[in-house]
């Protein structure tokens, strides 16, 4: 029986990439405004990582959540990198706009995983972590060292996380990756509970996941959490796609066509994108990030909006949604 750590009330969570200054130099005060808005609107699942802002995101979530009742919320963080404090001129170039002064290395050994969790507990000032994701163990992050790190994780991370779950130290674990293959590789050799699937399943791009990922996790009894369900802001009109500046050919036209149809039904592509992901039975939650309180408010509106069924049927008839994909009822 897989751990059922995410309930119906956790269908909409808050991701911590923007809180870690991925796109803007978000100040502490601005980040707490986002977190406070999420809390006030009833969001109770929060996802972060020591990678985000080189430990900045974890610290910000921890500072905010420290005063809240620990039984009221679920927090997930990630393992797979170890961090060491360095001087300002030694900070490596990363995607973060205003990171803290740390360097890092990938490490998926058992000892590294235990150390990573201990350090996350210190940074967040929480007494336990609910969900731990094995982070960025995929070719897009570690390149041709993927087989090496996968072997390391099979002998280290996967085993120790199952042990920690069985001991009750954590409630659940799984992969947190941008590619399908690492999740499939993990299912082949371990017993994860829930995986964070980023950039794999969105209203714009989901065919491969429908054919390969969803059947595999369904068979294994593993749930998914959607990261980058808005393709890292592209669906909202940003000029980036899945954290990269290169927009795949034809994607702008597809986005505009879906949004045009959505507006005829008095909705928009952002609201449709959120509901599309959650229509798949395999997804327990979606965790869009936010750099402004208004974005959190809009995500909550999107969750509760009534979108006509004819809208979804039109997208399918136009070939804009894969015929095998689940759509909202």
**pLDDT over threshold 70, residue 120:** yes
Structure tokens at 307: 């979108």
Report percent pLDDT > 90 for the chain.
98
CA-nearest of 1, 3, 8 to 194 is 3
Structure tokens at 268: 């928009």
Average pLDDT for 159-182: 97
Cα-Cα-Cα-Cα dihedral sign, residues 120, 180, 229, 291: positive
Identify the pLDDT of residue 4: 87
Identify the pLDDT of residue 222: 98
For the chain, what are the domain ranges?
Answer: 8-318
Q: Where are the alpha helices (DSSP H) in 180-326?
A: 181-189, 207-208, 214-220, 251-264, 269-279, 293-304, 309-317
Q: 131-135 and 74-79: which strand pairing? A: parallel
The H-or-E segment that residue 307 falls in is: none
Contact present, 213 and 183 (Cβ < 8 Å):
yes
Identify the pLDDT of residue 257: 98
Report pLDDT digits (tens) over 273-328.
999 999 999 999 999 999 999 999 999 999 999 999 999 999 999 999 999 999 99
Q: Which residue has the tokens 């009833």?
A: 42
Identify the pLDDT of residue 329: 84
Average pLDDT for 174-200: 97
Report percent pLDDT > 70 for the chain.
99
Write down the CATH superfamily of domain 8-318: NADP-dependent oxidoreductase domain (3.20.20.100)
Identify the pLDDT of residue 164: 98
Contacts of 147 by beta carbon, 8 Å cutoff, 6+ apart: none
With cut-offs at 50, 70 and 90, classify the pLDDT of residue 192. Answer: very high
Contacts of 303 by beta carbon, 8 Å cutoff, 6+ apart: 11, 12, 274, 275, 278
End-to-end Cα, the chain, rounded Å: 28
Contact present, 79 and 157 (Cβ < 8 Å):
yes
Identify the pLDDT of residue 2: 67
CA gap 236, 151 in Å, rounded = 38
CA gap 82, 141 in Å, rounded = 15
Average pLDDT for 210-218: 98
- As a whole number, the mean pLDDT across the chain is 97
Contact present, 30 and 19 (Cβ < 8 Å):
no
Report pLDDT digits (tens) over 2-60.
668 999 999 999 999 999 999 999 999 999 999 999 999 999 999 999 999 999 999 99
Identify the pLDDT of residue 300: 98
**pLDDT over threshold 60, residue 1:** no
């Amino acid at each position: 029986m897989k751990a059922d750590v995410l309930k119906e009330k956790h269908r909409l969570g808050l991701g911590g990439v923007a809180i870690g200054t991925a796109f803007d130099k978000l100040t502490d005060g601005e980040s707490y405004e986002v977190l406070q808005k999420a809390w006030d609107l009833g969001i109770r699942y929060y996802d972060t990582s020591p990678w985000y802002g080189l430990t900045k995101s974890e610290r910000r979530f921890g500072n905010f959540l420290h005063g809240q009742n620990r039984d009221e919320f679920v927090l997930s963080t990630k393992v797979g990198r170890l961090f060491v404090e360095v001087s300002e001129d030694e900070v490596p170039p990363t995607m973060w706009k205003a990171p803290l002064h740390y360097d890092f290395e990938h490490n998926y050994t058992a000892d590294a995983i235990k150390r990573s969790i201990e350090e996350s507990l210190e940074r967040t000032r929480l007494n336990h972590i609910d969900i731990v994701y094995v982070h960025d163990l995929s070719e897009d992050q570690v390149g041709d060292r993927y087989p090496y790190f996968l072997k390391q994780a099979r002998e280290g991370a996967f085993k120790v996380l199952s042990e920690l779950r069985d001991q009750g130290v954590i409630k659940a674990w799984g992969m947190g990756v941008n590619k399908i293959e690492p999740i499939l590789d993990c299912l082949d050799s371990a017993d994860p509970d829930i995986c964070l699937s980023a950039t794999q399943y969105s209203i714009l791009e989901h065919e491969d996941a429908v054919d390969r990922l969803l059947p595999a996790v369904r068979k294994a009894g593993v749930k998914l959490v959607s990261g980058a369900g808005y393709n890292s802001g592209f669906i909202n009109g940003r000029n980036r796609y899945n954290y990269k500046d290169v927009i795949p050919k034809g994607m702008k036209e597809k986005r505009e066509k879906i949004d045009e149809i959505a507006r005829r039904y008095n909705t928009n592509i952002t609201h449709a994108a959120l509901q599309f992901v959650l229509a798949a039975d395999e997804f327990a939650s979606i965790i869009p990030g936010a750099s402004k309180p208004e974005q959190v408010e809009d995500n909550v509106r999107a969750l509760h909006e009534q979108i006509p069924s004819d809208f979804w049927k039109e997208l399918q008839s136009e070939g804009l949604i894969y015929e095998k994909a689940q759509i909202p009822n």
